[in-house]
Structure 1
């Protein structure tokens, strides 16, 4: 009965607790006697794996959350999660996340839940354990295998390396396989001389404290490198040469010294510097004595120089040497070592500059092993002995070839230079600084007709007044050739020019006084004559004073611009004369050109042409020799001149045709027609004179002959004289005025000046009136 009562009490209590707990949130309960306060339920204390494997439950007031254990991460990579999220904790691979977690020289091993580190082969950990975690205090240090006894055996030295070691054969020893280093005990180092009986070539192999060395036999050398093979000396360059017999004693001495050279430090007779000194001395003696009277001797000489330099350079210590003498300038570059040199190199002298790749100079280095050499040798006056040999190169008509640089020889230790994959660049400085003539890169071809200049394989990269840059795919002796337009009789032409221009200036001055001071002659036509003479007068003065003053580039350009303007202005005034005659005869105008219009046409047109030309190409004014237009710019003058001449010829043809019709009419005004005929004839003659001069000038600037040179000089210099004859001496009206002036000047001094003046004035007005009336009737 008591048990049943206790059970009922328990059920009632529990029912009461359930009723009371419904008043608290989830995760909390309310106990009797606690009032209405709720207490937390610890879900993590229950015997249930709420968070799953590799995770830990963390209780909170009224709830709980889960966290993955150390070394694990949830599938969503969240730090906290709930049991309802179905998250799973998986292992973190620390080795992948941080590749340097173990530090240098160590390897990472992933584990669950952590990781471990172990040192690589050849290293040990500083704490002595094979496995450790990454830490600043624990590192992997190299194991020095060379401290563990004689690991390399005899005749070799142990060389410790990070994590390992290698054995290096001592000097004078190597492996049978040909190598000089190894690891382990698979091979042993042996004496080089016993392994390879031919290692010294034409010499005997010996082993010394510094390794093996080769004692070369007589006539052989290893060019100063004791460890290199001995090869036969190339002393053929010193053999007695048939074409240089006058120097055979020196050649024999040099050949003897060459054959006695060995690979030792103290050659018996001649060393590299001795050979160079004697070679330069020989060159000076040959060039100063004029030994080269034919091209075959030149070819022999250049071949000798190349061979001697190649031989001597092998005995010069790096980086080389620079030497000069009376007739030579030598730049020699030397590179020594087993590894072939690479990269660009430049050699410079007063005569030339050489740019090439060291790979080109070295080649396979089989002929001269162990060294690479480049040399640039310039000759002071060798061009004087080679200027007449141009082989198949033929100059154009009335041109001649002239060498405009010193001859230079370029060679390298590489023997295969007949066709280079990478061309060399050679800058040759001009003897005459000019870009007025075409320059060509040439080399001396000994195989062509015994020796001559040739352009094969060479081309011009750039040409300035001071230098020309050549690109060649082979090596030899080089020079720069320029084609000169050959003008003979220079003194005679200059004499004619100065005499003719002096007379022309005097005659033009008389014409200017005549047409400007004598009132009876003034008319539109004489106004045109006046300005034509003024322009030619100024142009001739500028020509005489400044045509050759090229030392100042700006001043020379100004002179060229003024000549351009005044010569164009002269042609424009001639064009106005043709138009004026056309108006008189064909259009029968009763009015003449206004002076303002004539000034605009005579000076405005040439001013516009010169201004445009200067803006387009200011450098076209002035050349290296004369203050005139550059040949590439000359048509800025000839173009307008040709247009003016064409227009004038058109107007003159129509004028002559209309004039012929008037002569055949029934009632011609013979007096005025005769006057117009005279005007037309003189105008045509004037145009022919000036036009002919510049036609000859055009040929002169291109390809002239001595005939065109004389015609151009005569027509140009005596132009003022011809204008004076045509417009003054052949004009009856002008002659009459000259007669009156002369008669007045010779009249008695007692004659009243006022009477003379009045008489002259009345006559002048009458003559001018008659002239104007006659022209008006036309």
Structure 2
């Protein structure tokens, strides 16, 4: 039974195989028994990016345009289409004047700048004649000739004009005459002629279109020459400083457009500079931030470029001078309107000197202010006695604050905002309000008291016969010198105008204060001789006068010959600290104090030995001891006074000024107390003088009464009434 079932199944399979063999693959039998074609494309057998083509009994796939079979077959039944990169496979797809951009299944052609903006196939990008289509003056300026080139154009500038090597930039006028030095920089300034010669030749060379300047090389040469000028001792006047600032400013304006990089930084031992340049057909916009170790500049490209005709570039530069502030610590006469409580301040530079250069031809009234952050030389917080102001170096060679204001100030930095950049030098000035009304009052009262005491001392030492001697002569002339010094100090220390008068006052103060110390030295020598020498202890008058008045005169004469301009400053009629002239005072003072200390030590030591001797003359020794104590006290007060005086004349505070004034006032009172009131001989003389004055007054009163009868009668009647008084 099973055998017959298997045989039947095989028979059915054979019948089915015969049916399939009759129609074949891709065909199917219809009801009528015919073999019809199957449409395989309905089943999407080809996939994406293809076209399915049905054939009788089969089909094949064809890639869309821009695609190709991965097996590089045109027609296929089993495969995959991928994008064709026309830009890579066909290098001339868009031609030499266009850029090819591959797309999925396609590509795009974009013409180069200077050609028509076509986005089609090869050969459609043609050159644009900019010289015809655009206004020639907009392209090259009135003094430039436009020449069309394949895909671009060139500007050829007339003589005296340049585009700084940028062929498609407007021609700008060259101002080579600014480097002649006529009427500007001081010809006496060594090294400045080299800068002017270098810049003038570079300026003239720019007129030749075939000459391409190297901005970096020229910038390096500029600051190499500038370093020689900025070395110590070369800049001695305001005219020299103005000449250098103007020359460097003009040089940066010439070099900046020749720099290839957008930002250029250069650092030397004397300068720090950062230059930013932008180029283009339209004026640039956006913020500008330039910085170095001493300053920072914040502005914008609209301010740097200006609102006038745009030359095709914009420039901004920040230049910091590292060691120029000491040279510029003067010329403060133009700084007015900064009084506080009716007192005019003194000024001092408190930052590095900074120059700001922009390509804007109109810097007298900027469209928006520039902000400059300056670092202080020393960290000081603003107080009632200390303020910061923003100033600039003007064309006349002096400091000015017009159009510059303090925006913000801390202990370390001050932010200045300025509406103009006339000299392109901005700095910060520090002034100290030490001269208050109270200090002026103390000065006048204290010195007046000192002068009165010195007058009494002079009269005492001159006419008191019981104390006459070498030591009294020394005291007399010490008081004369101190009296003259205090009188001149009170009357003329602040009278800085006229300059000649101020220098004369400073020379007199130098002479008489040196005289005080010289006579103080003679007192130390005399005490030494009184203790050490037994015989001939006195110093001859001729030697006293030659030493006491001749030595100061010699020092002042030599100082005046060497540094005549060192007498008198902008704030005081005293010795200037700029070139060390003040040491012609402090050096002798220090030498005298050291020498006197030596004499006093020997004197005290000898006194101690004599006190322990067998038969000491105690009265004489006690007298010399008193003399020594007063001399030491006098030296300490006078020396301490000039310690504070050193700070007062430079950058002292109100406290130091008060201490100096009080100690100066104590000089006359100290001499009067120690040498007059504490001396028994002088007190006896005073008592004798007063008794004589009182007796003389009584005698005159008695003579007057005897000649007046009514007085006599009234006196007699009073005597009769009071017998006790008549007896006295």
TM interval, short-chain normalised: 0.3 to 0.5
Q: What TM-score comes out, normalization by structure 1 length?
A: 0.44
Structure index of larger Rg: 1
